[in-house]
Structure 1
Amino acid sequence: MMTDPRQTDTSVFPDAVYKDTVLRPLFDGAKTHHVAAFGAIDKAHLVMLVETGILDAVQGRDIAKALRAIGAEVDPTKLIYTGEVEDYFFLIEKELKARLGPDLAGRLHTARSRNDIDHTLFKLGLKARLELLLAKALALYDTLIETAEREKATLIVAYTHGQPAQPSTFGHYLGAMIEVLGRDIDRLHDAYAVVDQSPMGAAAITTSGFPIDRARVAYLLGFAAPLQNSYSCIAAVDYITATYGAIELLFLHLGRPIQDLQVWSSFEVGQLYVPNALVQISSIMPQKRNPVPIEHLRLLSSQTIGRARAMLDVMHNTPFTDMNDSEGETQAMGYQAFDSAYRVLDLLASVMAQVRIDPARVAANIRRSCITITELADSLVRQEGLSFRQGHEIAAAVARAVVAIDGDLPLDGYAPFVAAFEHAVGRSSAIDAAGFAELVSPEHFVAVRTRFGGPGPEPMQAALASYRARSADFAAWAKAQAVAQGQATAELNSKFDALVGAA
């Protein structure tokens, strides 16, 4: 006959290996990342319990005094997990019981659960990190605007498929970076809006029969509102996926211009000059200037993408319920993505403020590559009435002739142009040598591209104005969040202080 193991089980929780491999790391993570949030949740929940009459003023006062004493007497940094309690939550409850007795201490947990507490902790942790990430992203955004303003007329070689394509300006290139970064900031704002909804009051799953005020707790904790569906409060992980999805895209997108910086600063291209402060010299080859910070930007961006992607992978194929996969250890892993993200944004802002374009290398590369030849074809359409295809064929013949002699298009291209034009059209062109040199100059190439979004002076000024306006909007959003959080924190502290001083 089989023996019922429940009748013979003499083991005592926690198992030693479970304690060391799971409970201790979770406890250490909580005391490292979530102590302040634990305290805020206890205060806000207690204030609400008293305001709704679930607890009376005397009960609220005694619990508030005990919470304050715990905050003053218990140093989380010195705590060592022993297994005496399951986790940090039960440690605080144990401390309350020691000061108040089990009946009164247990009343603080009325109408709440570790389920809603945990997700509120995690959201508070993400909110603070997202606010810092957004501040650093905005600092980079503003640095790029300042650099684009300074370099709006600075010629560069623009590349397609790894080959010189057309002349543009560094300011125009940076404008593309600015616009993508602006959209990435929008995605971070969208993620923040998902995070900024409080799970408190959902309790285990279905809220509570007590007359709790979920909106009040949400406000006191600085959330925009309570998350409506209580099952969603403890089961939905879209606040995690929204956050790390936005982070992954941000650093995927930043990694692409970082790669350009690496290529542009190479000896063979050389159009980007990296100042000495950002250059390391080889330990054996004294002639080498290694722009190592750019390599670190590439590496750290990839690390951030990998860490963010890992968070999404952990959420994949998990049950739609409260589960450990989305909780403490996963959250701590995700914070590493923020840590590397901050480093990238700070370093990239510093690099972009300091790099310069080397005009001599740009001029040499333009001369060698004949990248202004497209404007010759365009000009033949406008000035000579040719079709673009005919103009393109003439321009191609000129480019082949100049490249064959390693020549300079404005100086050496006119004679091949005259011959190619007469061969193709059967007459002479009205464009003289001086006019030809002007048409194929990089300055002219940029100046005539005045359409919306182009590198010409007028569209660049309009673009820069729009970027500055977006920056002001981003800054206003951050200020509004800081004001709202400050007001909520001040009211929470005031109400809690009032409980402590209640008669």
Structure 2
Amino acid sequence: MGSLQVNDRSRFPDPVYRETVLKPLFDGARHFHAEALRRIDRAHLVMLVETGILDAGQGAAIARALQAMEREIDPAALAYGGDVEDYFFYMERELKQRTGADIGGRLHTARSRNDIDHCFLKLGLKPRIDGLLAACRRLLAGLIAVATRDRDVLIVAYTHGQPAQPTTYGHYLGAIIEVLIRDIERIEAARAIVDLSPMGAAAITTSGFPIDRHRVAWLLGFAAPLQNAYSCIAATDYLTSTYSAIGLLFLHLGRPIQDFQFWSSFEVGQLYLPNAFVQISSIMPQKRNPVPFEHLRHLASQTCGRARAVVDVMHNTPFTDMTDSEAETHEMGYQAVDAGLRVLDLMTATIEAGRIDPDRVAVNLSRSCATITELADWLVRSEGLSFRLGHEIAADVARAVVAMAGDLPTDGFSAFKTAFEHHVGRSPAANAAEFARMVSPEHFVAVRDRFGGPAPAVLDRALDGYRAALAGFETKAQQIAAREAQAAAELDRRIPEIAECA
């Protein structure tokens, strides 16, 4: 028995290694990367024929075999048998069986699994980034639409969990919009790194054959080849940049999600979700549970955590080709993208469906004296007081109104007159009507017409800028999609042409 075990483990693959490493990698490749590997074979073949590295007859034989393999082999139906190392060698064996070992073995001229691996991983990552960016643009469009709709809708803005000042829902959403725009730009910048082809680097140093790296990059839909060949097989910043940017996106989205849940609480109630988004209690019939915000929160956290895990896997790894940055790490990243897409779609829907409750906002503004800062400002502008003195008068007024559970515009003038006379030694110029207008939330918003403020004119200009940014993102995505579609069409055309050149 002992001798049998030694013999078993002297032959590749060891059964444990097969089940824990080779089989999962084979299954991952056939599930996630089969189409990318097919495209790499086709593009590399076109380049080999066009450069004369392979003659027309050799190219035709390989092209016909690749076409037959595409028709006859369903990657999803394959089962790992342990007789080849991985999916690449399985497909190479199939090619050799159809063309003969001499012809089939020529397809691998001037390439390595090193550049192939990084290439199919980049090809697998690009459409996932594109899907995420498309969902980001939909969210951005939804945010802009609601911010435009609710440009003038008052809300209570909070700091440290307490009512602070009135602003508008459009102004609040504008802050989210600006962060989202920057997050989209970060993801686009990461995608530009992914969009550089490693093919032609071979193992490390390119090749002595007269390869055309630019041609392969074009046929595969890349913007260009990555220049340094060592970087092609060693650099993982395309991976860390992507998942760092994704992690930041969902970290940032998690913050307004927290606000939305707080705003929809019974005690605050300034944000209302319609019944289509509300679940009921199994025992308490009065409950309206806006649970989408809970799902958004935990899914955003899952996405952020998974993205961070991908980045952390790269920590303290050598600057060379290594398995840490390859298929299984990417597959973990795909889970982050899948969860993130759920967040983006659900967040878009809830923001579009939600409404601000003006009655609850009015009550909370009244109870909190949230416009009192404008009283201090107004005293500086109209009475010539220092801001600190104006602040002290305003503080006295706020304390008096809160103590009587009153409303600042209707109940605050008497306290204001008393405080002003106490601090200044004379009566204020304003009467009760002017005081009420000046401390109203509408006036508070209207006079904040500086760049970046909530007043209608400046917010309209901001919204115009947000729409322009969205249009730019859409145009860029369309241009990339058109280039990649053109490349894919050329690759699909060239293989049949080569196949007929025998």
Range of TM-score over shorter length: over 0.9
Deviations 1:313-362 (A, max 9, x none): 10000000000101111111111001001100011000110000000100
1:194 alignment partner in structure 2 = 193
Alignment of 1:233-382 (within 5 A): 233-382=232-381
Structure 2 CA distance for aligned equivalents of residues 398 and 9 of structure 1 = 88
Code of the aligned partner of 1:83: G
Q: Is the aligned partner of 1:44 residue 2:43?
A: yes
CA distance in 2, matches of 1:497, 1:460: 56
**Residue of structure 2 equivalent to 1:440:** 439
What is the alpha-carbon distance in structure 2 between the residues aligned to residue 108 and residue 140 of structure 1? 45
Aligned partners of 1:37, 1:48: CA distance in 2, in Å?
A: 17
Distance 2:125 2:176 in 1: 26
Report the counterpart of residue 168 of structure 2 in structure 1. 169
2: CA distance, partners of 1:163 / 1:437? 23
TM-score, reference length from structure 1: 0.98
For residues 105-146 of structure 1, give each alpha carbon's deviation from its aligned partner in whole angstroms, at most 9, with x where no partner exists: 000000000000000001011111111110000000000000
Give runs of aligned pairs for residues 475-486 of structure 1, distance below 5 A. Answer: 475-486=474-485
Q: Secondary structure at the match of 1:348?
A: helix
Distance 2:500 2:260 in 1: 60
- Displacement of 1:55: 0.2
Partner of 2:225: 226
Residues 59 and 498, structure 2, Cα contact 8 Å, conserved in 1: yes
1:10 to partner: Cα distance: 7.4
* Counterparts of 1:66 and 1:171, CA distance in 2: 60
- How much does 1:468 deviate? 0.4
Distance in 1, matches of 2:500 and 2:261, equals 62
The Cα shift of 1:489 comes to 0.5
**Letter matched to residue 372 of structure 1:** T
Matches of 1:207 and 1:9, distance apart in 2: 38
Q: How far apart in 1 are the matches of 2:458 and 2:448?
A: 9
Q: 2: distance between equivalents of 1:10 and 1:450? A: 77
What is aligned with 2:121?
A: 122
Counterpart of 1:85 in 2: which secondary structure? coil
Q: Are 2:164 and 2:370, in contact at CA under 8 Å, matched by a contact in 1?
A: yes
Instruction: Tell me the SS of whatever aligns to 1:281.
Output: coil
Taking the aligned partners of 1:478 and 1:228, their CA distance within structure 2 comes to 24
TM-score by length of 2: 0.98
User: C-alpha separation between the residues in 1 aligned to 2:448 and 2:171?
Assistant: 11
**Quick one: distance in 1 between partners of 2:54 and 2:71?**
24
Which residue identity does 2:287 align to in structure 1? K
Paired residue for 2:54? Answer: 55
The 1-side partners of 2:44 and 2:268 are apart by 62
Q: Which amino acid aligns with 1:462?
A: R
Following the alignment from structure 1 to structure 2, what is the Cα–Cα distance between the partners of residues 10 and 169? 71
Aligned runs of 1:412-431 on 2, under 5 Å? 412-431=411-430
The correspondence of residues 195-210 of structure 1 with structure 2, limited to 5 A, is 195-210=194-209
Superposition map of 1:367-406 within 5 A: 367-406=366-405
- 1:97 CA drift (Å): 1.1
2:141 equivalent to 1:142: yes
For 1:497 and 1:8, locate their aligned partners in 2 and report how far apart those are by CA, in whole Å: 48
Partner of 1:3: none
Provide the C-alpha distance between the structure 2 equivalents of 1:488 and 1:72, rounded to a whole number of angstroms. Answer: 22
Q: How does 1:96-115 map to 2 (within 5 A)?
A: 96-115=95-114
* Cα deviation digits, residues 49-77 of structure 1 (max 9, x gap): 00000001111111000001011111111
Partners of 2:9 and 2:130 in 1: CA distance: 50
| Corresponding position: 1:489 with 2:473 | no
**1:17-47: CA deviations, max 9, x gaps?**
1000100000000001001100100000000
User: Match of 1:82?
Assistant: 81
Q: Per-residue deviation at 1:501?
A: 1.8
Distance in 2 (CA, whole Å) between partners of 1:379 and 1:328 is 63
Deviations 1:391-414 (A, max 9, x none): 111111111100011011111100
1:69 aligns with 68
Aligned twin of 2:3 = none
Distance in 2, Cα, partners of 1:204 & 1:35:
21
Which position in structure 2 is the counterpart of 1:4? none
AA matched with 2:290 = P
> What SS does structure 2 have at the residue aligned with 1:497?
helix
Counterpart of 2:367 in 1: which secondary structure? helix
> Structure 2: where are the runs of 5+ without partners?
1-5
Q: Displacement of 1:8 after TM fit?
A: 9.2
Distance 1:10 1:404, change over 3 A: closer
Distance (whole Å) between structure 1 residues aligned to residue 496 and residue 305 of structure 2: 44
Q: For residues 64-112 of structure 1, what are the alpha-carbon distances to aligned partners after superposition, in whole Å with 9 as ceiling and x for unaligned? A: 0000101111111110101011101001111011111110000000000
Q: Which amino acid aligns with 1:133?
A: L
Cα offset for 1:11? 1.5
Identity %: 67
Give distance in 2, aligned partners of 1:461 and 1:10: 72
Local SS of the residue matching 1:156: strand
* Aligned match of 1:470: 469
Q: C-alpha separation between the residues in 2 aligned to 1:263 and 1:376? A: 28
Distance 1:498 1:380, change over 3 A: same
Give the CA RMSD over aligned residues. Answer: 1.0
- The letter for the 2-side match of 1:120 is C
Determine the C-alpha separation between the residues in 1 that align with 2:26 and 2:7.
31
Whole-angstrom distance in 1 between the partners of 2:82 and 2:380: 83
C-alpha contact (below 8 Å) 2:8/2:14 kept by paired residues? no
